[in-house]
Amino acid sequence: MTEEQKASELLIDEDTYLTSGVHIGTQQKSADMKKFIFKVRSDGLYVLDIKKTDERLRTAAQMISRFKPEEVLVVSARQYGQRPVRQFSNLIGCHSFPGRFVPGTLTNPALDVYIEPKILIVTDPAADQQALKEAINSRIPIIGLCDANNETKYVDLAIPVNNKGRRSLAVAYWLLAREVLKLRGDITGDDDFKAEIKDFEATL
Amino acid sequence: MPDPISRCTSCGIPLSREHDVMFICPNCNNVQLGRCGNCRNQSAIYICPGCGFEGP
Ligand SMILES: [Zn+2]
Ligand SMILES: [Zn+2]
């Protein structure tokens, strides 16, 4: 495979991305996310550039894989993100807080839930405000799944993705998990990854 | 050239305050990048001096 072919290849086939709605943004766009937007549909929906999503998933996986599993925290206040982050954390061996983020988790050593992660992944910077705030105070880098309308305030690495869809969040975290495991050498390749996208989907 | 370890990659001010952060470039894994609280708050673009990666 030439470098060019390699570069043009996506992590999964484009159809899976598209049918999962990974690229479907919102009716509003933020100035921060402008560079990740591919087009605006006739119905006014902003569509994300799938190639950029793919690139950023790779970059994020690289960043995550450099930390020890126990140094990574992934959160999702959003309901559709809760199963994906739980599955991701199970496979990667990191911390996860699906649901309400207990204030003080990163800042109050007196709490039972207190942890000192070295990196935070938020499913939605707007919905995961509390975790974001505490990570800012702890001075740890923040990866954010960001939809077309998200601000990237305090996010150090944005992954442009539909962070509201059930299937979309499943695909994003499934890919992140697979890529991290590959980079860590825990699996030898895509075929060695036994989890399925549907295992990551929130149940209705 | 400013010391990449202790300065904000975007605006160049020394990093010493709350809300600052330092991390290794997520793209090349070679260069320590810094972002000051102000640049993070404004989503200021940072460019890795090693590989040209543009974040956030
Ligand atoms: Zn700055
Ligand atoms: Zn770099």
Tell me the per-residue pLDDT of A168-188, one tens digit each, with 9 for 90 and over. Answer: 999 999 999 999 999 999 999
Give the ligand at the shortest distance from the Cα of B43.
1
Minimal Cα–Cα distance from A31 to chain B, Å?
10
Give the ligand at the shortest distance from the Cα of B24.
2
Helix (H) or strand (E) holding B47: strand B46-47
Which range marks the domain in which residue B54 is found?
Answer: 1-56
Residues of B with CB under 8 A from a CB of A: 18-24, 26-27, 29, 35, 37, 40-43, 53, 55-56
Helix (H) or strand (E) holding A184: helix A166-184
Q: How many domains does chain B have?
A: 1
The rounded Å distance from CA B47 to ligand 2 centre is: 8
User: Average per-residue pLDDT in chain A?
Assistant: 96
Give me the pLDDT at residue B17, please.
Answer: 85
Give me the pLDDT at residue A19, please.
Answer: 97
Mark yes or no for CB contact B24/A66 under 8 Å. Answer: yes
Give me the pLDDT at residue B6, please.
Answer: 87
Which chain B residues have a beta carbon less than 8 Å from that of A157? 26, 55-56
Query: The whole model's pTM is what?
Result: 0.95
- Best of A62, A145, A159 to substitute, by most chain B Cβ atoms within 10 angstroms, is A62
- Best of B36, B40, B46 to substitute, by most chain A Cβ atoms within 10 angstroms, is B40
Mark yes or no for CB contact B56/A62 under 8 Å. Answer: no
Chunked into runs of 10 residues, chain A (204 residues) has average pLDDT values of: 61 97 97 97 96 98 98 98 98 97 98 97 98 98 98 98 98 98 97 97 93
**Residue-wise DSSP of B2-44:** --TTTB-TTT--B--STT-EEEE-TTTS--EEEE-HHHHHTT-
Rounded Cα gap, residues A17 and B18, in angstroms = 39
Tell me the per-residue pLDDT of B2-52, one tens digit each, with 9 for 90 and over. Answer: 454 589 999 999 998 889 999 999 999 999 999 999 999 999 999 999 999
